[in-house]
Amino acid sequence: MSSSHPRFTARIEGSPETIFDLIADMPNYGRWVPGSEASGGTTEVSLYPVHLGTTYLDAGPAGQRPGSVTGFPKLEGSKNTTQEESRLV
């Protein structure tokens, strides 16, 4: 069985460390990601700080969608770095 995963691209102004710290702070997405019909918030984050293998639940008006972190870059200076080998997705 094959599954597809959507990929999105965006240009974001800011240092890589600042952007990484925001993205890795899953429980606090509501501070900067507005809710929508597709997404209401990220909850049930299994490992925090977030790292490779962390699971989460994205729940909103469209239902609940579980997810997991499948790629995790190492960034020098980031407070959310990990010692695990990882890849950027």
3 within domain boundaries:
no
Asked if the structure places residue 40 within a domain, the reply is yes
Per the structure, the complete domain to which residue 66 belongs is given by 36-81
Total domains present in the chain: 1
**Would you write out the chain's pLDDT as a tens digit for each of its 89 residues?**
566 778 888 888 888 888 888 888 888 888 877 777 777 788 899 988 888 899 999 888 888 889 898 887 765 554 544 333 333 33
For residue 48, give Cα distances in angstroms to 2, 13, 29, 56: 30, 26, 14, 10
Q: Is residue 17 a part of any domain in this protein?
A: no
User: Nearest CA to 43 among 30, 28, 56, 62?
Assistant: 56
25 in a structural domain: no
- pTM here is 0.61
**In the β-sheet with 63-68, what is the strand arrangement from edge to edge?**
42-43, 55-60, 63-68
